[in-house]
Amino acid sequence: MATGPRYRVPFRRRREGKTDYRARRTLVLSRVPRLVVRLSLKHAIVQVIEAESIGDKVLVSAHSNELAKAYGWLSNRGNIPSAYLTGLLCGFKAMANGVDKAFLDIGLHIPSKGTRIFAALKGAVDAGVEVPHSEDILPDEGRISGKHIADYASQLSSDPEVYKQKFSKYLSKGSRPEKLSEHFSAVKAKITSSFEKKVKSQKE
């Protein structure tokens, strides 16, 4: 550990590997809400956060658990399709609360083309939130809808033992992984229609 009269101890969250203060400073000074995407192996959390003098204020939030509880999502909650749907849900909530622009905040995640982070971003953008980004970094439509998972499941279906082993969690929820793309489209339509109804009722 460095010593001496000019040595400064890094902030605790920097020492713990939780916050990139240089990136955070840039985002806060922009005075634009942040689209914060945080991921675990099993879940996705997408929030729109505004910085205030007393601390961050969460304007809207969406968790991948909501997909199952409110919209009938039966698939894995930590994959690319669920990250997209969580971003879509958060985006609709943001638009309903008057937030139509945000900057992406991925924390200490390493940006890599086509990952869950950018699937969540795509969802928020498709909901109508303006978030500066490059189209090249987004996952393609096939991966967003889970086509790669469905194709893999179809390949394994000829070997029932391996199929059941690989997709036991899907099957335990009554979900057929080879039908994931159709299930994704149905849940996406349900999320979209639910917010269209809310907007219509508010106008009336």
* Residue 149, CB-side half-sphere exposure with 13 Å CA sphere: 24
Is 5 part of a structural domain of the chain? no
At 70 the pLDDT is 96
Q: What tokens were used for 197?
A: 């109804």
CATH code where residue 108 lies: 3.30.420.100
Is 73 part of a structural domain of the chain? yes
Per-residue pLDDT reduced to its tens digit, 22-60: 666 777 777 899 999 999 999 999 999 998 878 789 999
Q: Which residues contact 71 (CB under 8 A, 6 or more apart)?
A: 85, 187, 190, 191, 194
CA distance 142 to 60: 28
Is 109 part of a structural domain of the chain? yes
Is 18 part of a structural domain of the chain? yes
Is 9 part of a structural domain of the chain? no
**Cβ–Cβ contacts within 10 Å for residue 46, how many?**
29
At 16 the pLDDT is 61
Q: What tokens were used for 106?
A: 């991925």
Global confidence as pTM: 0.86
| Domain extent for 141 | 14-203
Q: What is the 3-state secondary structure (H, E, C) of the chain?
A: CCCCCCCCCCCHHHHCCCCCHHHHHHHHHCCCCEEEEEECCCCEEEEEEEEECCEEEEEEEEEHHHHHHHHCCCCCCCCHHHHHHHHHHHHHHHHHCCCCECEEECCCCCCCCCCHHHHHHHHHHHCCCECCCCHHHCCCHHHHCCHHHHHHHHHHCCCHHHHHHHCHHHHHCCCCHHHHHHHHHHHHHHHHHHHHHHHHHHHC
At 203 the pLDDT is 45
Is 158 part of a structural domain of the chain? yes
Q: Which stretches of the chain drop beneath a pLDDT of 50? A: 203
Is 2 part of a structural domain of the chain? no
At 30 the pLDDT is 74
Is 7 part of a structural domain of the chain? no
At 17 the pLDDT is 62
**Cβ–Cβ contacts within 10 Å for residue 119, how many?**
26
Per-residue pLDDT reduced to its tens digit, 192-204: 999 986 655 554 5
Domain tally, the chain: 1
Angle at 9 between CA 28 and CA 17, to 5 degrees: 60
CA distance 149 to 203: 40
Regarding beta strands 34-39 and 103-105, do their DSSP bridges make them parallel or antiparallel, or are they unpaired? parallel
Torsion angle in degrees (nearest 10) through CA of 180, 184, 185, 188: 170
